[in-house]
Structure 1
Amino acid sequence: MTSTFGWLAIDPKQRRRMMEAVDQFRDETTLDDLGFGAIRDAFSNTLFPGVSSIQTRLRYVLFIPWLLQEASHRDTVGRMQSQFREAEFRLITALQSGKETVGVIGRDAGRTLQRLPSEIYWVAIGRWGLVESGFSARRYFERELLRREELKATPRADDPDVPIRLTPTGLDPRLPPPPEHLLRETTFALRPEDARYLREAITRTAAGSLFAHLVTHRPENWTDETNQPAGVGDPAIRQGLPPELEALVDRATKFALYAQGANLLYNLLVAEATHKTDQHGSALEEVYTQRLGEWFTEVQDVKPLHARDRELIWQTVIHSGRRLSATTKDFVGTWADAVANARAAADLIGNHQLRCKIVGREREKKGPRARLTPGNQLALDAWGGASGTGRFDYLWTNARRHLQDLYDAEETA
């Protein structure tokens, strides 16, 4: 299918304008003007393997295998694939019939939905062992046809208790059976057998992660959605963590705090260049100067991000399969040392070398789209007053929704 935005590849000026407009609608924790993304994502995937920012409800990881099984009764791979796609659309209606309104993928788009649940959750069901690692829906359908041929060609054993050896389907044979009338009416509520299966799968395949720990160690004061912990650094979560996991969470929360400070200073520089005001008419230069002061008070209450901490962070990135450039290490190190040596936020704000470092870092990461590149008035005009100022939550928003689904199932068991 030809992309609607095919012109972006041949018109650099229009492409830049489009990308700058898109920037304004991104989540404040995902914008990455200073190149912290690889570290943020490494922590996210180490703490919550299999979870992604576009997932909604946990039961989708079971819906997908169930729909695969339902579609496999057709007589060709092509018809199986068509039926599977049709089932994903029918699932939207079934969830709405079950009175689900929040978290339904395709609730508004309906049959115009471009990114189906199977695409969104496929990494999760592979990571948690619901399907073979690296598997695909097509491969599953091919194996189902192969198994039919094997059954036809295999002579019946005299002893009915002797199992027939068939090619594995690629789906976990321990999957709970689907509920009746799945595509007529269903909900996101996990049955007790669903929850038991998913707890076992996650703790087995993601052992040592914060996600696996929380699956089996519900914080005492987390009773329902109204009192969920605010983030991975919440004392309710950190209480009772194994030492190695506690150290990982500590580094993650500390890095999120340090990265936010750098992004606040970056936004101050942009505010100085634009002279914009907020919705209340306050100069954004003053707003970010104040926010940096508040941030500096907070960062003084934690231990510095020492060289040893940084080395362990680099190892986390490498172990997650990501690359980390020497310039990224240098930038993080320079910023961390500057924060450790500062006595007040003004020491950071007025540090000329630090300002130049941030300008150069943005230019390195964004090229011609860098707002602080001299003469790039278009990018400055497109700045909406904030870019990447939120603190990294490492997919906590999505992970806690999944955990809540599991906890709710425990209460109904």
Structure 2
Amino acid sequence: MANVVELPIVTPPLRSNWSPPQPSAKSIAPLQERRLLPAGPAYLAHVRRTIHNLTFEEHDKHAEEERKRFEALNGNGLNGEDDLGVGDEEETDDILLLDPKEWKKQDHYAVLGLSHLRYRATDDQIKIAHRKKVLKHHPDKKAGVAGDSNDDAFFKCIQKAMEVLTNAERRRQFDSVDPYYELLEADVPSANQVNKAKDPQKAFFKLFGPVFEREARFSRKQPVPLLGEFDAPKAEVEGFYDFWYNFDSWRSFEYLDKEVNEGSDNRDDKRYTEKKNKSERARRKKEDTARLRQIVDVALGCDPRIKRIKQEEKEAREAKKKGKTGPNGLTPKQKLEEDKKKAAEEAKKKEEEDKVAKAEAKKAKAAAANAAKKARRQQRAAAEGGAA
């Protein structure tokens, strides 16, 4: 049972120099009745508790569940803000134990927790991911904590990842050799996988669709035509393969260049290293072009749309040979050409007849003029003879 303790409260005495306040000369406004409107989060919480007949504990539990559901839908951002879908990726031991000296071997997207976005990550998403990692792994956060957490080394990896991914040129170089896609590039579908599938048509689009979508990120020309559908017209299919056979790639391999030995001032050593790097970049670029050309060759060889187009063209040629001929054995197109030819010949014949008729009329007119002239001469001669 609780004990009740009564504390005596004694008011302090008035000060010796205290005097009552003087009455104000201002008039006091008359009292007015005002209507207050209930509002605010406290009133809304009261309404929810009243309507659903909830206790304070039940209401708080329900509010916490709604908060978690909202975070799951919109992402758990910093300070309650939307994190633009960055989320919180699990940090494996391999990631946390990275050596900052070997920064070229690290996956910068995985370090910042952007493995699910990679080259699609925007600048804002990279900044948010970096801020999350800094708040979690800053060395000052681990100061005085027992045990070696290696956070100082991992924090350097975070800073290096931010440095690379916020530089447009260096990020493009890293995206060109992204280690995540190296395994995917090696696993290219073959013609046997398509032909031996239960539904070759469905298997072709399922296997090759993601491949061309993945390779499209290297194109200088945008937009990039993707694989499309089975019923695509001939012009679209031809345009697709024409684009990919003439693919203009921005992919480069400078990120894999070997560094010049530290502390070396030998110019010959630097020139040799630069020459070697240039040769290696050209070799890798040539191999990448051949790799992509091989993918397009395999896709063209087992594309079901090519067979469909050839079959449609064959049927059209057979229909042209066999069917839809008129009584005289001519197709509508041939009949139209024959009618045009006849009309041209008739027009030419009529034109020649008009020319002949005009020439004869001209001759007759000239002969009549000559005859009239001759008759006038004879008349004048007769008149002169009678006068004599």
TM-score, with structure 1 as normaliser: 0.19
TM-score, with structure 2 as normaliser: 0.19
Q: Looking at CA atoms only, which structure, 1 or 2, has the larger radius of gyration?
A: 2
Compare relative contact order (CA 8 Å, sep 6+) and give the higher one, 1 or 2: 1
Q: Which has the higher helix share?
A: 2
